[in-house]
Structure 1
Amino acid sequence: MRNAATILIVEDDERIRGLIRTVLAGAGYVTLETGNATSALSMLASHRPDLMVLDLGLPDRDGQELLREIRSWSNVPVVVVSARGQERDKVRALDGGADDYITKPFGTEELLARIRAALRHGQRMAEGEKSVYNIGGLQVDTERRIVRVDGREVHLTQIEYKIVTLLCRNAGKVLTHDSMIREVWGPFSNCDTQLLRVNMANIRRKIEKDPAMPEYILTEIGVGYRMAEVGSADGQSCRE
């Protein structure tokens, strides 16, 4: 059965590109592919794919630079697949507009799960913000400013509420520490990562059954946080 989504694969290694193509085709996606940045921009503009899988090590241009240019005129979801595994590379790509970041070598099921999450996030953004978010037993009503867990109302501070709603709006997407601080406290704030962690610990005590093994707000160590999606079982997410 064919999936309606079209995915552009931008990867200069023919073997890896072929592997990704086979995995995506097997899952029912329509695929386009190229091995360089120049062609990727042309294909993105002409074919308007639903998602891009992007390698950072392209022969004609660095993928980070390409990502910044894409974000200047397109909101297409981008999943980065790269051999660059250092935290600073992940943070830079996510702050630059990537929806997710997978380090090579990767599992095919992980790749498909991240792609599904990015596509869902892209669809939600296209449809506009909802007034009520339901993620498992967590319900966030943004019109009434009410948060419930398994039907029980939870009282959050103003900052805690802003953090939770920010994550809900981006469920499934990794948000970096810096991007969250800018969104919650403002671009000129002097707040640091430690203050964000303190607030996150308080939130988890209020909404998680076991704060040490969170179900809703997952930690990407050294990078940021991600709100789980309905029915997700992300055994690869690290806890803090």
Structure 2
Amino acid sequence: MNPHATALDSGTRVLLVIDQPLLTQYVSLALNHGIAQTQVALDAVEAQAVLSAWHPHLAVVDMDLARGAILEQLGYTAPSAARIPLIALTRRGDLARKLAAFDHSVDDILTVPFSPEELVARLLAVLRRTYHTVVAFTPVIRLGDLEIDMLNRSVRVRGKELHLTAVEQSLLYLLAANPGQLLSRDVILDHLWGADYVPESNIVDRHIRNLRVKLQDGWRHPRYIATIPGQGYRFIATATGDAPAK
């Protein structure tokens, strides 16, 4: 894996080796707003092609790909000065998994689920250590009249700050990262609480309800979060300046 990545003077380029669309969108939204350009590869073959043609500065890799063999396929089996830094993602947070990642000279590892703020902070730290420079960071993501400030963990609607819990903010971010896409309750559970979490029967609905109250988002005529009966929820893009739903 020889990327020949250049310095960050032309903008930060990040390769995502992830085959799950929901996770890809979640990571991409966090990085595309003033932090980095991203390209996606679904496997090691596509990743090598992107490395050769695009010369990214860093890779974010789902290390559960290829039955856990993706790091070996990418050539992360021994230290190499020619390799770009890598942040690994995994759904297994046990110590053995983390040690295996660091044995492959991974620079950092995140267990899914994780917050976008944590991903951004770790990515910036790895880039700073590797390239000895400060990467520009625009922390405010604007979606219609919503502003999500990742750095200060705040959300504003038409300039008014909302007081969301950490779960509510992560839920809003997950929905907003996948505009127009139906997200089932099971998908939301797995992404925000993890596959091993044993939930209360209505935990997703309860957090959606609380989030809607704070957004002043009526379920009959939603501006942000639409309910698809019996299936799940969908984020709706809204125009700035519209009146709040009743």
TM-score after normalising by structure 2:
0.46
Structure number with higher relative contact order (C-alpha < 8 Å, ≥ 6 residues apart) = 2
